[in-house]
A and B are shown apart, each in its own frame.
Chain A
Amino acid sequence: MASIILQGTIIIPGEAQGKALVGREPLSFWGGYDWKTGEIIDRRHVLSGANARDKILAIPFTRGSSTTTAVLLEAIRAKTAPVAIITTGIDFFFALASVVAEELYHAPLPLVALAEVDFARLNTDDSIQISTTGIVTITR
């Protein structure tokens, strides 16, 4: 077992741990994420068919529809959301879903951004731990 420790930038603070699901291209949650199940349903996306429920989802940023935030909020409410999301920058769409989830359900979703070189070190099925100080620990 080897560990890699990376310092991320906290977007929305929180602790999380889980298996990684890593997509190296951006994703729209509207038409891309089935909030009833957690499945990635964008049939043109590399993660099509994978399930992100309770995973740590790593997506560089969102593309497409303004409705991505609303879909992620539904997933948080329905408990089909990832336990945390790692991006390569500040993603306003994900951050807003987390802020509104805090307002409505007191359940913010932790969000951390990694530098692109660090993001590139993540692989699907890595065990990942995110700390409240934005430290991302990869174990494989």
Chain B
Amino acid sequence: MLTLSPKDHAMLRGERGPAAKMAMSIVARMAEVAGAAELLDITAAHIDSTVYIGEAGLEFAERFAALGAKVSVPTTLNVSGLDEHHWREWAVPSEWASLAHRQMVAYQSMGTIPTWTCAPYQTEMRPSFGQQVAWGESNAIVFANSVLGARTERYPDLFDICCAITGRAPAIGLHLTENRAGGILFQLTDIPESLMQSDDFYPVLGHLIGKAALDKIPVIHGMTVKPEEDQLKAFGAAAASSGGVALFHMVGVTPEAPTLAQAFHGKEPIETVNVSMDALRDSRRVLTHTDSKRLDMVVLGSPHFSLAEYKRLAPMLLGRRKHPEVKFLVTSSRAMTQLADRAGLLKPLQAFGAQITVDTCILTSPMLPAEIQNLMTNSAKFAYYAPGLLGKQITFGSLEDCVHSAVAGEIVRDEARWLA
């Protein structure tokens, strides 16, 4: 039975204006559906509803904007449908661009911070341990919960903005300590340390674990190295694509899992899954959706490329140039790209023949021309969604594989690390 606070009731009566009234009616209705006892205060929000899908989402955004909606907590914005200032360089139809831009304007009018990125946790708006937030965007949700120890339920588009306007969210799911215990144990067995140090290990492991864990909380045990932030980002994005993972615990790595017992809150796992090299090789194979060696474009940056990733990529490109028939695209945020520029990291990219797109990505903007059919990426998220969303073929490889392939003009992958 849902009990609302006097302030919640005041919003429902319209005392904070018509937009807050509409937002609270949706929050309260959904809290009832989810069986919440009450709402709780949030201190920040991240809005995934910015992704332009069609007229209905735009009508929703413009309805709020017309009602004078304003967010009541610091609120970052996810990717939009457009690179606002460069979309004309790509195949985006101008009619589509004008609709997607209206959606950007609507969400910006609500007093939000126009970060336009799916990696808001790598901006100054990164939440801290224990902070209650309402975040949309599956990769951002899993990162906030798992790597930072902030608390958000797995919120869909359209709900995130209702929480941001009201400053309230249902007290359910991952907001509550008792629901953050691990469910399934994934025991890494005989995985070479050298593979755990490789970037491409993390999306492959994440894809495998997401598929097996589905909506349960996975606990990963047996890591012998300490992964870097961007490796955890790639892992989470993969697990949140192949499954509904909104929180994982990596024993000895993530903040709520200093020990195995703490990851499970002292309880027994529902199930234990051994992760072997064979299982990892299967997972890696599934991420590639074609047998062809043909390559039209390498695409990096889902989730958006960080400053650290620019820093890793730049020296690999020095003194080299991509094959003239192949495009090489990095998708990132304006903030990270500006920092990379100031650090002198963009020069090697330009000399290599790389292009950079900000504010959006290939999955949320119809930017790729039809002749680009064969993609290669180091992102499990791109690999997972490109065949269905774009109808294109995609091959998964490491960052090094992607660079080598762009130079060679066809797909080349170093299989050695995966044979051990």
Interface residue total, chain A, C-beta cutoff 8 A = 38
- Once A90-B34, A104-B63 are accepted as A-B contacts, the answer to whether A42 and B159 lie under 8 Å apart by CB is no
- Residue on A with the closest CB to B241? A64
Judge whether B141 is part of the interface by a CB distance below 8 angstroms: yes
- The CA-CA distance from A56 to B286 in the complex, in Å, is 30
Contact of B156 among A42, A77, A78, A92 (CB under 8 A): A92
Chain B binder among A95-103, A120-128, A132-140: A95-103
Distance in angstroms from A30 CB to nearest chain B CB is 7
A70 touches B158 (CB 8 A): yes
Judge whether A62 is part of the interface by a CB distance below 8 angstroms: yes
B57 touches A63 (CB 8 A): no
Contact residues of B between 334 and 388, Cβ < 8 Å to A: 363, 384-385, 387-388
Contact of A73 among B56, B160, B240, B388 (CB under 8 A): B56
Judge whether A71 is part of the interface by a CB distance below 8 angstroms: yes
Judge whether A76 is part of the interface by a CB distance below 8 angstroms: yes
- Once A63-B215, A78-B54, A104-B59 are accepted as A-B contacts, the answer to whether A96 and B138 lie under 8 Å apart by CB is no
**Hey, which bits of chain B sit against chain A, CB under 8 A?**
22, 25-26, 29-30, 33-35, 48-49, 51, 53-57, 59-60, 63, 136-138, 141, 153-160, 210, 214-215, 240-244, 286, 289, 363, 384-385, 387-389
B156 touches A76 (CB 8 A): no
Which residues from B are CB-within-8-Å of A106?
A: none
Judge whether A3 is part of the interface by a CB distance below 8 angstroms: no
- Residue on B with the closest CB to A39? B388
Contact residues of A between 65 and 113, Cβ < 8 Å to B: 65-71, 73-74, 76-78, 90, 92-93, 95-97, 99-100, 103-104
Which 5 residue pairs across A and B have the least CB separation, nearest first? Answer: A69-B156, A74-B54, A31-B385, A77-B56, A70-B157
- Residue on A with the closest CB to B385? A31
- The CA-CA distance from A97 to B289 in the complex, in Å, is 31
Contact of B57 among A28, A42, A74 (CB under 8 A): A74
Which residues from B are CB-within-8-Å of A70?
A: 49, 51, 53, 56-57, 156-158
Distance in angstroms from A121 CB to nearest chain B CB is 21
Which residues from B are CB-within-8-Å of A41?
A: 388-389
12 additional contacts (CB under 8 A) given A26-B215, A100-B26 = A30-B385, A31-B388, A64-B243, A65-B241, A66-B48, A66-B141, A66-B154, A70-B156, A74-B55, A77-B56, A90-B34, A104-B63
A68 touches B55 (CB 8 A): no
Which residues from B are CB-within-8-Å of A97?
A: 156, 158
Distance in angstroms from B394 CB to nearest chain A CB is 11
- Residue on B with the closest CB to A74? B54
5 sample A-B contacts, Cβ–Cβ < 8 Å, listed by A number: A43-B289, A66-B155, A66-B157, A70-B156, A74-B56
- Residue on B with the closest CB to A98? B33
- The CA-CA distance from A31 to B59 in the complex, in Å, is 22
